[in-house]
Amino acid sequence: MPYSLARHPFPPAVRRLQLAARTVLAVAGGDAYVRLRLVESSPGELAGFVAPGGGDHVRVVVGSPDGGPIALDDSGAPIGEARTETVVDHSVDEGWIDLDVLVHGEPGSELGVIGACAARAPLGSPAVMMGPKGSVVMSGAPGEVVLAGDDSALPAVRRYLRMLGPNVTGHLLLETRFDLAALEVEPPAGLRVRILEPGGAPSTGLIAALESVPSAVDPLQRFVFACGEQSLVAAARATLAGWGIDVERAVVKGYWKR
Ligand SMILES: Cc1cc2nc3c(=O)[nH]c(=O)nc-3n(C[C@H](O)[C@H](O)[C@H](O)COP(=O)(O)OP(=O)(O)OC[C@H]3O[C@@H](n4cnc5c(N)ncnc54)[C@H](O)[C@@H]3O)c2cc1C
């Protein structure tokens, strides 16, 4: 029986959290992947939180990299630029959630809004989290998969690999310099793995690798996840169309813009 994807919307939620721990998971080419543990700023903030889908994500507003406060509007929503991050793990009972954040730039002058905070904000710094707005949940097991992504998609790829299990077959295409083992990305033996060097024109290596994957014997049995820099999206959609796969049966998303 072919797999299916169901999209479930969730009611809006704004949760006040604080930074409890950071762990540098891996460093590559001047970038780092940092795991942030955010905990409830008061009991019950995570009540009702669920994130059952492989790519489920939240929007996070942080203060300044030195741990400054976050202003709220009259409705209690945070004022400031939000960043979207994949849910790595969480416990509502224990009141924590983990996010893995890619940090660019030299130590002490890290780039970005959440990147700089992930690198430097003192423990106890505030964060406001919204979502997930919804979840894409897979039922059944695909006959084969094509998982493609760059650094920003590694947390989602890891979750999909764990959900798909050790017997999954297909293709894993990653544009990254990170040591996959350090990021706990453990491809099963049945996946053909291609690691592509980042850089150059946007996503070109990843797009070419995706286009080189042969068509599926049965398009209804192939699950495709293709997420990363924005320019991947149009190419991935065109590739799906060429394979005869409805994009609604896939997960294709721009995670960031160059
Ligand atoms: C559904 C979804 C899930 C996501 N999950 C994750 C996740 O789990 N972990 C994660 O780290 N990111 C994830 N992202 C990307 C994330 O939203 C941010 O883009 C990222 O964290 C950078 O934010 P920033 O504030 O540090 O940098 P920004 O202020 O957004 O950017 C600073 C500079 O860094 C550049 N830049 C940003 N991202 C990258 C990149 N990946 N490679 C090279 N240069 C880059 C920008 O072009 C800019 O020049 C996800 C995005 C989406 C839409």
Name the residue with the closest Cα to ligand 1, atom 27: 112
Q: Per-residue pLDDT tens for 62-84?
A: 999 998 899 999 988 899 999 99
DSSP state string for the chain: ---EEEEEE----EEEEEEEEEEEEEEETTEEEEEEEEEESSTTTTTT----STT-EEEEEE--TT-----B-TTSPBPS-EEEEE--EEETTTTEEEEEEEE-SSTTS--SHHHHHHHHPPTT-EEEEE---EEEEEES--SEEEEEEEGGGHHHHHHHHHHH-TT--EEEEEE--S-TTTTT----TTEEEEEE---SSTTHHHHHHHHTSPPPSSGGGEEEEEEEETTHHHHHHHHHHHHT--GGGSEEEEEE--
188 Cα–ligand 1 center, Å: 27
Regarding whether 219 and 163 lie in a shared domain, the answer is yes
CATH number at residue 15: 2.40.30.10
Least Cα distance to 205 among 179, 184, 235 occurs for: 235
Q: Which residue shows structure tokens 């409830």?
A: 40
Q: Is the CB of 87 under 6 A from ligand 1?
A: no
Query: 203 is in which domain, residue-wise?
Result: 141-256
Please give the number of the atom of ligand 1 that sits closest to the Cα of 114: 25
82 Cα–ligand 1 center, Å: 11
Q: Is the CB of 126 under 6 A from ligand 1?
A: no
Regarding whether 91 and 171 lie in a shared domain, the answer is no
Q: Is the CB of 84 under 6 A from ligand 1?
A: yes
pLDDT for res 29: 85
Q: Is the CB of 30 under 6 A from ligand 1?
A: no
In contact, 138 and 4? CB cutoff 8 Å: yes
Q: How far apart are CA 41 and CA 44, in angstroms?
A: 9
Regarding whether 152 and 86 lie in a shared domain, the answer is no
Pick from 134, 150, 173: which residue ends a domain? 134
Average pLDDT, the chain: 96
- Kindly tell me if the per-residue pLDDT of 1 is higher than 80: no
Name the residue with the closest Cα to ligand 1, atom 9: 101
pLDDT for res 109: 85
pLDDT for res 258: 86
Regarding whether 168 and 110 lie in a shared domain, the answer is no
pLDDT for res 204: 93
Pick from 116, 134, 152: which residue ends a domain? 134
Q: Is the CB of 56 under 6 A from ligand 1?
A: no
Mutation probe of ligand 1 site: the residue of 256, 257, 258 with most atoms within 8 A of C-beta = 256
Q: Is the CB of 102 under 6 A from ligand 1?
A: yes
Regarding whether 145 and 214 lie in a shared domain, the answer is yes
Regarding whether 154 and 126 lie in a shared domain, the answer is no
> Amino acid identity of 65?
P
Q: Per-residue pLDDT tens for 167-190?
A: 999 999 999 999 999 999 999 999
103 Cα–ligand 1 center, Å: 8
Regarding whether 145 and 128 lie in a shared domain, the answer is no
Q: Residue 145: pLDDT band by 50, 70, 90 thresholds?
A: very high
Share of the chain above pLDDT 70, in %: 100
Pick from 108, 134, 160: which residue ends a domain? 134
Please give the number of the atom of ligand 1 that sits closest to the Cα of 84: 17
In contact, 144 and 165? CB cutoff 8 Å: no
- Kindly tell me if the per-residue pLDDT of 101 is higher than 90: yes
Peptide bond into 132 cis (omega under 30): yes
Mutation probe of ligand 1 site: the residue of 255, 257, 258 with most atoms within 8 A of C-beta = 255
Regarding whether 76 and 8 lie in a shared domain, the answer is yes
Show the tokens assigned to 114. Answer: 């959440």
pLDDT for res 106: 85
Q: Per-residue pLDDT tens for 21-43?
A: 999 999 998 899 999 999 999 99
Determine if the pTM surpasses 0.85: yes
Q: Per-residue pLDDT tens for 219-253?
A: 999 999 999 999 999 999 999 999 999 999 999 99
Regarding whether 145 and 126 lie in a shared domain, the answer is no
